[in-house]
Amino acid sequence: SWERAVAMATSPSRADQINPTGALLGGIGFTVLALALIAGSIWFISSIHGDYGQALESRAPIFVENEGHTVFYAAPLIFVGLLIIGLACMAVGIRGRPYAPSASERLNRVVAPLVIAGLVGMFAGSYVANKLWAETFRNHGYNQCPGSFTITSRWFTTVWVDEPDLCNNENIRTMFR
C-alpha cells in the first residue's frame, strides 16, 4: 500500500520488512502524482493570471474574480514535499533496504517545513494575493460590487465592474445565476 511505502522510506525499520517492489511502485506513484500536481498548479496559476490580465487589458465592463483559486499559489510547496517522499520511496525500492535513522530524520526535516509552509502559504498567501488583486483591479478603475454572493450565488467570488450601476442591474444578476 501507499502508506506502507511512505513508512518504509521515512522510518527506520528492519530490512526484512521491506517490499522493494512495493516501495518502488509506491514511490513511482507518489512521484508521478506530485509532478502532475505541481504542473497542474503552475498551469492553473498561470491561467488565472492570464484571465485576469486579459479582462483588464480588454477593459471588460464586468468580470468575476474567484478568490478561492489563490490557495493554489503556495500549494506547489506541499507537492514538492510529496515529490521528495516519492523519490525517497523509489530509492528504498531500488536499494531494497530502509534509510538509516539519521537519513530519515534529515528527510523529515526537509519535507515537514515544506508541507507546513505550503499549508500556511495556502491560507495566508491567499489572503495577501486577494488583497493585491483587489488593489490591482481598483487601480485599473474597477469597483467591487457589494454583496457579490447575492449576485452570483457562489462563495469566494467577487464581482468587479467599471460602472457601479452595473452591480444593481437585474440582467447582470440573472446572467450569473
Q: Give the HSE-up count for residue 92: Cα atoms under 13 Å, Cβ half-sphere.
A: 36
Rounded Cα distance, 169 and 164, in Å: 10
Per-residue pLDDT of 83-99, as tens digits, reads 999 999 999 999 988 88
Residues 6+ apart with CB under 8 A from 162: 59, 60, 61, 62, 141, 142, 143
What pTM was computed for the model? 0.73
CA separation for the pair 34, 23 (Å, rounded) = 16
Q: For residue 70, name the pLDDT band (cuts at 50, 70, 90).
A: confident
Query: Which residues does 58 contact at the CB level (< 8 Å), separation at least 6?
Result: none
* CA 142 from centroid of its chain's CA atoms: 27
Instruction: Summarize the confidence of residues 44-65 as an average pLDDT.
Output: 88
Please check the confidence at residue 140 and state whether its pLDDT lies above 60.
Answer: yes
* pLDDT above 70: residue 111: yes
pLDDT at 101: 86
Of the listed ranges 7-11, 40-44, 154-158, the least confidently predicted one is 7-11
